[in-house]
Amino acid sequence: MSDDHKTPAPKTPAPKKMNFPEDGERIAKRIARAGICSRRDAERMIEDRRVAVNGTLLDSPACVVTARDRITVDGVALPEKEPTRLWRYHKPAGLVTTHRDPEGRPTLFEKLPEDMPRVISVGRLDLTSEGLLLLTNDGELARRLELPSTGWVRRYRVRVNGDVDEAGLAGLANGVTVEGVRYGPIDAVLEKRQGLANAWLTVSITEGKNREIRRVMSYLGYRVNRLIRIAYGPFQLGYLPEGAVEEIPTRSLREQLGRNETAPRVPQPLSPSPAMPSPAMPSPAMIVRKRAERRVEDAPRDDRTRDDRTRDDRTGGMNWEEKKKAMAKAAAVRGSAARSGAKTGGKPSAGKPAGRSTPGGGKPGPRRTPGRDR
């Protein structure tokens, strides 16, 4: 048989599309919205056959449910969807960010107020880390805020042990690879030195990988002995006391989550155009020098000499000639006022009690009794 009359190959059937009702959503998302757990944890629960819909156990998360379906987890009916809520929590050191710890260590969820609903954390903080931790009753929101694509900056105050090299910190702006793991741009700035061995840094990241700051600092030769998260996107730790929890107002939550541009991003390195040669990256020492120059340029300038500043402080900003003219002008005004008062028969000036008129400005004359001169 010639090639012109070959039997066409059978077409591969297209995968079946899942039909989504107008008011339906995936089962894992529905469970996350109820605040039971995150969406990924819900998928694992489904695979473990712990979730049932209308009495039928599921073994795959490829299921769409509506408000008319009855969902149970471990035999307990799924609660109704609650309005999305978010809290700020000041996590102290020594608490584990998990609901159940196999080693029996204390968890932060055991320390929350009893009247709080079941919540999950947005990301995690290590056992010895402290500071701001966001809590929510919406697992889908927690997953969304954890993603690096959200672009929210996590800002930390970090105390390290070691002789800090600012040039090395500046080099983190282009990212770094540690033990085969690639970390994105990190903004690390020396805040102050404390004694001979410690220093405080301000570190901002967007990815939030596992123990990212500790591993990067160890790569630079510093040991982190304290790590405090002070901001997560637009939400700040502020003066929230340690161990305290405070709900974020619904209006503020909507404003922050509804904006197209949320928190400022850590500057990303520019990719060179393929048509042009790659420009030379500035050295860390040059970055430090440029930062110092910008601080000097942004500071308010005072071009006056030392003598001019001393003169201005004593005379209110006028030189001696200007002050003499001002004093002479004031004396002339006072003299003019005195002469005008004499011409009007000694009319008293404002603010002085009225008395007998003194002709010519002399002493008062004798009183005249009416009718005696007639």
Weakest-pLDDT range from 70-74, 116-120, 309-313, 369-373: 369-373
CATH, residue 210: 3.30.2350.10
Kindly state whether residue 169 falls inside one of the protein's structural domains: yes
Is residue 362's pLDDT more than 60? no
CATH number of the domain bearing residue 73: 3.10.290.10
Q: Return the SS3 of 173.
A: helix
Q: Is residue 316 part of a domain?
A: no
- Determine which of 80-84, 105-109, 328-332 has the lowest per-residue pLDDT on average: 80-84
Look at the pTM and tell me if it is higher than 0.95. no
Asked whether residue 241 is assigned to any structural domain, the reply reads yes
Per-residue model confidence (pLDDT) at position 306 = 58
Q: Choose, from 23, 126, 303, 312, the residue flagged as catalytic.
A: 126
CA distance 84 to 63: 23
Residue 312 maps to a domain? no
Judge if 127 and 243 occupy the same domain: yes
The domain tally of the chain equals: 2
Q: State whether 70 and 194 are in the same domain.
A: no
In a domain, 362, yes or no: no
Give Cα separations from 53 to 22, 56, 61 (angstroms): 18, 5, 11
84 CB-contact burial (10 Å; exposed 0-12 / middle 13-18 / buried 19+):
middle
Catalytic: 69?
Answer: no
- Do 96 and 67 lie in one domain? The reply is no
Rg of the chain over CA atoms, in angstroms? 38
Q: What stretch of H or E contains 101?
A: none
pLDDT band at 19 (very low <50, low <70, confident <90, very high): very low
**With contact defined as beta carbons under 8 Å apart, do 188 and 203 qualify?**
yes
* Distance between CA atoms of residues 173 and 266, nearest Å: 8
Is 189 part of a structural domain of the chain?
Answer: yes
- Residue 279 has a pLDDT of 41
Q: Which domain holds residue 127?
A: 86-258
Together in a domain, 69 and 183: no
pLDDT, residue 224, reads: 95
